[in-house]
Amino acid sequence: MRKALSLFLMAVLLIGVLAACGPKRDVQQPKGNDQKTAEQAKKPEKLVVWVNDDEKQKQALKDIFQKYTEKTGIKIEMVAVSMLDQTKKLALDGPAGKGPDVFYQPHDRIGDIVLQGLADPVDLGDVKGEYSETAVNAVTYDGKTYGVPMVVETYGVFYNKNLVPEAPKTMDDLMNIAKEKTNAAKDQYGFLMEAANFYFVYPFFAGYGGYVFKNENGKYDTSDIGLANDGAVKGAELVQSWFKNGYIPKEITGDIMNGLFTKGNVAVVITGPWNIASYKEALGDKLATAPLPVLDNGEHPKSFVGVKTWMLSAYSQNKEWAVDFMKFVTNEENSLHYYEVAGEMPANEKALTNGKITNDPLIAGFAEQIQYGEPMPNVPEMSQVWEPMGNALQFIAKGDNPKAVLSEAVKTIQDKIAASGAGK
């Protein structure tokens, strides 16, 4: 009896605590931001900006931020956070009120960021035309522009003028170089690239009509994957022929390629401008760059273009001024300054076509390639593509049937997209 009584009372108490009815608040969605112009909004004392943790980039930005403070009187608090860690940090700092007004991300993360509700769209307004079309497309997601593009980046051809006097214009040129100059036993190669890395191989798929996700009017249809269509298979066969002919060893990695090229053993490599510094140091004047060679159907290979972007935090209290700030940082003058100090190609069209860049022999090749490139898809489903495609390329390198391998990879991608919870 006593036990029953105490048990009953215990239960009453527990229910009393558990039935606590949660927070009281008026159930109202937080309002979307009304787009005011900077002039109408109250001027904040300072803006917090997360920049990538890189010395040269920080150096360049410090000057630009200084100029903005002189112009408007708004202090800019620069916080260095590695680009790769920013979204994770923002997801925690933003709600806690410690986040930035502006952060910096590669455009292919936009899908994730929007899904997590970390960024607000930015109205580029009358300056939209100042940025290169590829860059604007890259930051467009669901029909809205998220962020202001700062830097564009793609890959192209580097060649050693000692071994080949001129850049290969077509794939045939390139194959001839490979045939003549390759002597695998002596570690000499005519042409090398990371041919089992989907990022670098994609242009050869796309040049024949392959695509990752069908893009219609700026929207990606993730149910339509074009990585096993005829074009993609044709591209894969081309890549496989390099392995079969022994032009490229299937064990190739980026490190090995860089090592051989800087030793002067390789005539042509395909890689990105981030290697310019180390290549130049090793090869000096013999180094030159060019866009990717034209395919046998007359098309330029469509390299992936990455765009690094200033994005507007959804938690920012000073959205109008933050946008004003982003536009200032990416204007022609500041983009050029950034290029000169940090060495990255601007997304600002006027800056990109400025003589300072087009006359720089090592950058010109990439600047030209960008117009043939296409932005990496920015939908979150893209993250499921890399691994299956990387694996498929390994199988292709080993000599498996491209059509079968690619169909399997596409199936895996679809399964992975489904298993990751998309559409639920």
Partner 1 sequence: MPEANVRHRPAVAMALSLLFAGLGQLYNRRYIKGLLFIVIEASFLITFYNFLNIGLWGLVTLGEIPMLDHSIFLLIQGLVSVIIIAFAAALHIANIIDARNDARRRQRGEPFPSLIESCRHAWDRGFPYIFVTPGLVMLLFIVVLPLLFMVSLAFTDYNLYHSPPRHLLNWVGFENFKNLVSIPIWKSTFFSVLAWTIVWTVVATTMQIALGLFLALLVNDPRIKFKRFIRTVLILPWAVPAFVTILVFAAMFNDKFGAINREVLSLFGLSIPWMTDPFWTKVALILIQTWLGFPFVFALFTGVLQSISRDWYEAADIDGATRWQKFRSITLPHVLYATAPLLIMQYAGNFNNFNIIYLFNDGGPAVRGQNAGGTDILISWVYDLTFTTNNYNMAAAISLIIGLIVSGFAIYQFRRTRSFKEEGNI
Can you give the binding site for partner 1, defined by CB under 8 A? 2, 5-6, 9-10, 13, 17-18, 20-23, 25, 27, 29-30, 91, 94-95, 112, 114-118, 249-251, 253, 255-256, 314, 380, 383-384, 386-387, 390-391, 394-395, 398, 400, 405, 408, 412, 415-416, 419-424
At 359, list the tokens.
């006359």
With contact defined as beta carbons under 8 Å apart, do 181 and 163 qualify? yes
Comparing CB distances to partner 1, the nearer of 136 and 257 is 257
Comparing CB distances to partner 1, the nearer of 97 and 284 is 97
User: Cβ contacts of residue 122 below 8 Å, gap of 6+?
Assistant: 145, 146, 147, 148, 311, 312, 323, 326
**Quick check: helix, strand or coil at residue 328?**
helix
Smallest gap from residue 306 Cβ to partner 1 (A): 17
Residue owning tokens 């559409």: 423
Smallest gap from residue 219 Cβ to partner 1 (A): 17
Comparing CB distances to partner 1, the nearer of 87 and 330 is 87
Residue 93 parent element (H or E):
helix 86-96
Comparing CB distances to partner 1, the nearer of 351 and 379 is 379
Smallest gap from residue 269 Cβ to partner 1 (A): 16
Q: How far apart are CA 78 and CA 48, in angstroms?
A: 6
Smallest gap from residue 245 Cβ to partner 1 (A): 16
Comparing CB distances to partner 1, the nearer of 165 and 419 is 419
With contact defined as beta carbons under 8 Å apart, do 200 and 179 qualify? no
Smallest gap from residue 377 Cβ to partner 1 (A): 15
Smallest gap from residue 194 Cβ to partner 1 (A): 14
With contact defined as beta carbons under 8 Å apart, do 104 and 83 qualify? yes
Comparing CB distances to partner 1, the nearer of 342 and 422 is 422
Kindly list the distances between the CA atom of residue 62 and the CA atoms of 79, 150, 274, 329, 365, in Å, as whole numbers in the listed order.
Answer: 11, 15, 21, 11, 29
